[in-house]
Structure 1
Amino acid sequence: MTYRKAYQLYSSRNFPPLAAQLPTLKSFGYDAIEPWLPAYEADPKLFRRQLDDAGLACYGFHMPLVGLVDEPQRFIDIALTLGASLMIPPYVTPQEREDTPGYWRGLGEKLSRGGELAAPHGLKVAWHNHDFEYRPLPDGSRPIDHIFATGGDKVWFEIDCGWIVRAGADPAAELTRYADRIVAIQLKDTAPLGTSEDDGWTATGDGIINWASLVPLFARTAADHVVAEHDNPGDWQYFARRSIETMKALGL
């Protein structure tokens, strides 16, 4: 299966202006970008024009969980303006998190309510993981499982393989466990744990993840696109180019 290829614009936030990056990303072969707040917030219509001018699409965008809870219509309107189909809350701060199943079930319920509001517009709400959802709670259960158990069929999943590895979990097991829920796959790669350069992240294909072993599992998911992401690259163009070259070499 050939997947559409997106680039998480957060990766190159430290190399403004972002609009100037778009034609370069297109020349590397990307089909779309995945923006994060605040890249699109000031003027979503202008941001859409910049994407159109570069020949890039937007399949999904990262947004704050509080935005889904408190301002769902504003972010639904942004999604429609950008032409996105996925609204993706990616994070809760350490100060917000609680180590109880009830907290994570409540998060799943918030996502589900947002998904119900988004669905009539042809939109889906998807959670994006970091490492903390895979750290066992005191009772041995995992936050990620509580989120999806209570989220029900209105909550989808953008799986970040790099963060799963960082948490000491197995991305192959998670790709299998949540295959029906996964609508986007981030091919984030990580250097050996303890590496300090670039915060320990690498371009896809330069790290320790065995992507060739994971790719066959992708086809069992509901995903139709893959996403390159790096939290702090020293050279964003090398990261972007190397990552898409790896995607193509893997037959994605």
Structure 2
Amino acid sequence: VRSDLQREIDFAAEIGQRYIVIPIIAASERDTDDYKRHAETLNRAGEMTQAAGIKMAYHNHGFEFERAGNRAHYDILLEETAPELVDFELDLFWIANAGVDPMPYLDGHPGRFSMLHVKDRDQFGRMTSVGSGTINFAEIFSQADTAGFKHFFIEHDNPGDGFASIARSIYTVRNVQF
């Protein structure tokens, strides 16, 4: 984003991509002032992507939920980016692994979460097939309209049997009652 965003925008437009997602922040750039700069960078990038009909977005991990004073670093990104310029891809495994309830984020920032990274977590903090762990998908999915969910990405980083894991996960997502 900081080095050659226009090239990325051109490529995204060429292949019909609707989002450019920042997947992670470098470990050396994770203090409070860094997050404020990242929010500014995301807004500037969002202005450029918007001009091309593409939306800028950010994907979380667990470290963004570390607290800095009275708020988490993730809060800085949400509160200091413009909703019309920057969306978020909420990764359910990582927010749960950080010990954070996603519901206040979904309720408190309507329309900001166009993408949902659907992953599950067992009671020991390991990834597991969706529906096999501790995450309450019915509660989360019930906020789809408020949160702005448009795209769901099912993932399990290290399944024993990938086909069985994706089958279970897809079944759960299709059949969850809310």
Is TM > 0.5 for Structure 1 vs Structure 2?
yes
1:96 maps to what in 2? 29
Establish whether residue 70 from structure 1 lines up as the match of residue 70 from structure 2. no
CA distance in 1, matches of 2:29, 2:87: 22
In structure 2, the CA distance between the partners of 1:160 and 1:116, relative to structure 1 (3 Å rule), is same
1:82 maps to what in 2? 15
What is the count of residue pairs matched by the alignment? 177
The one-letter amino acid paired with 2:62 is: D
2:131 maps to what in 1? 205
Q: Secondary structure at the match of 1:95?
A: helix
2:54 maps to what in 1? 123
Shift of 1:86: 0.9
1:23 maps to what in 2? none
CA distance in 1, matches of 2:162, 2:108: 32
Q: Which runs of 5+ in 2 are unaligned?
A: none
State the identity as a percent: 32
CA contact (8 A) 1:189 1:207 kept: yes
The one-letter amino acid paired with 1:148 is: L
1:142 maps to what in 2? 72
1:18 maps to what in 2? none
The one-letter amino acid paired with 1:96 is: E
CA distance in 2, matches of 1:214, 1:147: 21
Residue deviations 1:75-119 (CA, integer Å, cap 9, x gap): 112212332101110201323322x2x211111111111111001
Q: Which runs of 5+ in 1 are unaligned?
A: 1-67, 195-199
Residue deviations 1:47-71 (CA, integer Å, cap 9, x gap): xxxxxxxxxxxxxxxxxxxxx1111
Out of 143, 149, 152, the residue aligned to residue 223 of structure 1 is 149
Q: Which has the higher contact order (CA 8 A, sep 6+)?
A: 1
CA contact (8 A) 2:19 2:57 kept: yes
1:245 maps to what in 2? 171
Residue deviations 1:130-151 (CA, integer Å, cap 9, x gap): 11111112x2321111112222
In structure 2, the CA distance between the partners of 1:161 and 1:90, relative to structure 1 (3 Å rule), is same
Q: Secondary structure at the match of 1:219?
A: helix
CA distance in 1, matches of 2:112, 2:140: 17
1:53 maps to what in 2? none
1:58 maps to what in 2? none
The one-letter amino acid paired with 2:79 is: A
Shift of 1:161: 1.4
CA contact (8 A) 1:166 1:193 kept: no
CA contact (8 A) 2:138 2:177 kept: no
Residue deviations 1:138-195 (CA, integer Å, cap 9, x gap): x23211111122222311111111111111110122211222211111111111135x
1:114 maps to what in 2? 45
The one-letter amino acid paired with 1:129 is: N
CA distance in 1, matches of 2:93, 2:18: 24
CA distance in 2, matches of 1:108, 1:170: 22
Q: Secondary structure at the match of 1:151?
A: coil
1:162 maps to what in 2? 93
Residue deviations 1:194-231 (CA, integer Å, cap 9, x gap): 5xxxxx10111111111122221112122222110222
